[in-house]
Structure 1
């Protein structure tokens, strides 16, 4: 029996990419202003693999808001949309280090000016502040909005044979923050920490293990949802600060916290209204091209 007409092959095109990191939290940035890339979760996994791909904790696609169906409603506020994916191919809503790396790439390529620029995300529009000048060591900051915390949530996390109570913090993505006395206690974090109750996070959660070093100085390790243990996490740093402030009952004053992560140092400033700003270096380390399916 003859087969019916087959679908025409999907064309492949060469697209430019950049590789960058914020405190060693690294990302592939695909430049796709027209929204032409037909990106699948398998593509993301392939590109993010450390040994056979480009290698990254996540992938960021830079698309103009007018050319992405999830972002058209934000086009009056922002020109660009951060289409963010975790290394396992799942979509993400917000990434504090990722949006700073995306902004660095767009500024370096002349697609946005230095200064304050609005960028749309699945968690809403965020304003990124990019210093002028060629020095990539200068901090890029991003307004992270207001954290949303639970009260006594009854959430616990377990890792390395130990268990701790955790604070739920929503930073546009879900976090469970546990304060520990030693960052080695959670063990190797090769697998996601166990979280109870089992139905607390049906779509998974990013878990922070936090030590208070001194007043307004935290150190943490993080197991990111959809990625694994990473060397930094911007929303995780903000979640840790939010949980620390709730524990210390701090509010109503502008303060800056230092947050040390395995990949470096981040700074979180909390305004007197509780809003947060994340700052740190964002560095582009490589550029190239990659073949991907195209066509909208």
Structure 2
């Protein structure tokens, strides 16, 4: 059972090639695989398959809107084994893997997800590194909310990027660095009944913001692709703008996000770190 380990701005994933979607990704097994002591360790798992194969295997009951049966499909699982609609950093790593492995020869193609189709452009890709732009779709605001992170209360903008976010603008850089983002969080459960990813970020200065994120089902991660999009929407709104481009600095590096009237774009790096084989005995035991 082969795997690849990769990351996008240090948001790391185990990539599982499974073109026929035959693997059983039970939550307990995914959680064990993502555990940094008893498994390989990762923020999530990316199953590589096609939308048609995933449909036939019962991964979902119908194709996601806008996704064709022949499209590549990123079946993304959080570190706790739960299913997630979308992951911007994961799409970059997924697309990089397809090109590096020879499964895809084009530099522009579509990656399907539960949140819909995500067109990608590979500006550069080799066996180890890539630079990828993902069209992330329209980011929609749906109100304001509040959360407690690291013992501090924050108000923020609710943003749907195919998954829910609360982006809170205004902390200064020194306080952001000291904040315990990994601590348990609380938030408006009425506004976010299925949980929420929470971004804490500085106001824009010279076209850039700094951000940290608490991802639902994971905790603090070094980066969150959809989170950088939500953060950019909130940072622009903080300046009275609906569109624009910002550099977003996260603990794992830097990405560039562009918001237009109709869609959004995320550009950043991908790194494929290792390739190997999972023990079948270990995998079967993890499912027990």
What TM-score comes out, normalization by structure 1 length? Answer: 0.86
Aligned twin of 2:218: 227
Q: Provide the aligned length of Structure 1 versus Structure 2.
A: 273
SS at match of 1:120: strand
For 2:26 and 2:230, the matched residues in 1 are separated by 30
Stretches of structure 2 lacking an aligned partner (at least 5 in a row): none
Is the Cα–Cα contact under 8 Å of residues 149 and 167 in structure 1 kept in the other structure? yes
Shift of the 181–75 alpha-carbon distance from structure 1 to 2, 3 Å rule, reads closer
For 2:146 and 2:123, the matched residues in 1 are separated by 40
Say whether residues 1:99 and 2:91 are aligned partners.
yes
Could you tell me how far 1:199 is from its partner in structure 2?
Answer: 2.0
Say whether residues 1:28 and 2:19 are aligned partners.
no
Structure 1 residue aligned with 2:190, among 191, 199, 222?
A: 199
Q: Please list, as runs of the form range in 1=range in 2, the aligned pairs for 1:60-139 lying within 5 A after superposition.
A: 60-69=46-55, 70=60, 72=63, 76=68, 78-134=70-126, 136-139=128-131
Aligned twin of 2:264: 276
Q: Please list, as runs of the form range in 1=range in 2, the aligned pairs for 1:10-49 lying within 5 A after superposition.
A: 15-49=1-35
For 1:286 and 1:137, the matched residues in 2 are separated by 12
Shift of the 107–283 alpha-carbon distance from structure 1 to 2, 3 Å rule, reads same
For 2:182 and 2:267, the matched residues in 1 are separated by 28
Aligned twin of 2:227: 236
Stretches of structure 1 lacking an aligned partner (at least 5 in a row): 1-14
Comparing both structures, which one devotes a greater share of its residues to helix? 2
Aligned twin of 1:173: 163
Q: Whose radius of gyration is greater, 1 or 2?
A: 1
SS at match of 2:190: coil
Aligned twin of 1:218: 209
Aligned twin of 1:189: 181
Shift of the 53–133 alpha-carbon distance from structure 1 to 2, 3 Å rule, reads closer
Shift of the 146–170 alpha-carbon distance from structure 1 to 2, 3 Å rule, reads same
Is the Cα–Cα contact under 8 Å of residues 17 and 31 in structure 1 kept in the other structure? yes
For 1:222 and 1:41, the matched residues in 2 are separated by 23
For 2:120 and 2:107, the matched residues in 1 are separated by 8
Could you tell me how far 1:86 is from its partner in structure 2?
Answer: 0.4
SS at match of 1:66: helix
SS at match of 1:139: strand
What TM-score comes out, normalization by structure 2 length? Answer: 0.88
Is the Cα–Cα contact under 8 Å of residues 78 and 118 in structure 1 kept in the other structure? no
RMSD: 2.0
Could you tell me how far 1:116 is from its partner in structure 2?
Answer: 0.8
Deviations along 1:23-45, one digit per CA (max 9) or x if unpaired, are 00000010000111011001100
Could you tell me how far 1:77 is from its partner in structure 2?
Answer: 6.6
For 1:43 and 1:164, the matched residues in 2 are separated by 35
RCO (CA 8 Å, sep 6+): is it higher in 1 or 2?
1
Aligned twin of 1:50: 36
Is the Cα–Cα contact under 8 Å of residues 136 and 281 in structure 1 kept in the other structure? no
Could you tell me how far 1:206 is from its partner in structure 2?
Answer: 0.3
